[in-house]
Structure 1
Amino acid sequence: MLFYLFAALAVLSGAYMVLTRNLLYAGFSLLVTLLSIAGIYVLLYADFVAVTQLMVYVGGVLVLILFGIMLSSRVQDKSVRSESVNKIWGTLVAGLVGVGLCYTILKANISSLPWLLAAETDVLGWQKSTVQMIGIKLMTDVVVPFEVVSLLLLIALMGAAYIATDKQEL
């Protein structure tokens, strides 16, 4: 039941995100979509992927998008609007893809897959959380590449801040 709730919420907020003309509302509906997908990951026992979804996409990318929308708008007393003109074609293509996916899912005999039949006997009884295992691996075996990537991301952030500054103030 929760899966269907999260799936419907993700699809509806994703559709609203695509169809709205207000960019700020689109950003907030993207937030709802990403949170719904994180909820689906939790229901699938993919705890590391759910935490990564929350930390990277919801915490980082979405905040960057919302701040970019709010700070780059220099128009006074007007909301930022999209000039999308292909809503009918986009909705038609999305509907056809959705119908095709539903047809494929209904025609596939998913309940008779051998790995699903084997998994019904023991649902993650032996498996512990993957976050602890990945954390130990990150801080022992691959700590140098992890630090190099973090320094590269810091340099990229500093470069983006420098590019975004007004050149006349320097």
Structure 2
Amino acid sequence: MTGERDTRRASRETWRALADLVSEEGELEVVHRRWECSPDVRDRLVENLDSVGILGGAGALVRRQSPEGDRPETLLVGYGDGEGWSDPGANLEPGESFHECAERAVEAATGLRVTVSGVLQSHVLYADDWTDRDPVPHPFVLFEALYGEGTAEPRGSAEAVEWFLDPPAELRYEELRDVV
């Protein structure tokens, strides 16, 4: 089941999830972006929706005061796939909110436990393969989180973590530059 009906269902679920987030957070600006992927990746998104009833993910930008104390630093993660620095993020798990997903993603990638606050960005990534099928929408919400204590170290699929005062040249997605 990977046809037009699946795309319509994914769209309904995406907008339902974002509407729930708007009711919690208030007005959101949504960035729409095409995500070129293989047919297998697109099919896995649809299978995930079929098997666990969810699509989407979340991440967080963790901030701390710089050692000089003049402006905040932002923690970014390198996943080793050569696509640049990114926020720690993950896909939603069954029964999990976007907030919970972002907190879990930060801990899984960096070892830091954080509490997320406001939404920085919300995205709908349209997983589009080279076939003639419609793209599958995949919502992603980026939160802000404040650093408490502990040392950030790469964990799980993260190969590097680093604090940045300014955005690095190599970012996984350009919209991130606006909030780093």
Please indicate the TM-score interval, normalised by the length of the shorter structure. Answer: under 0.3
Scaled by the length of structure 2, the TM-score of the pair is 0.22
The structure in which a higher percent of residues are strand is 2
Which one has a bigger Cα radius of gyration? Answer: 1
Greater length-normalized contact order (CA 8 Å, ≥ 6 residues apart)? 2
The structure in which a higher percent of residues are helix is 1
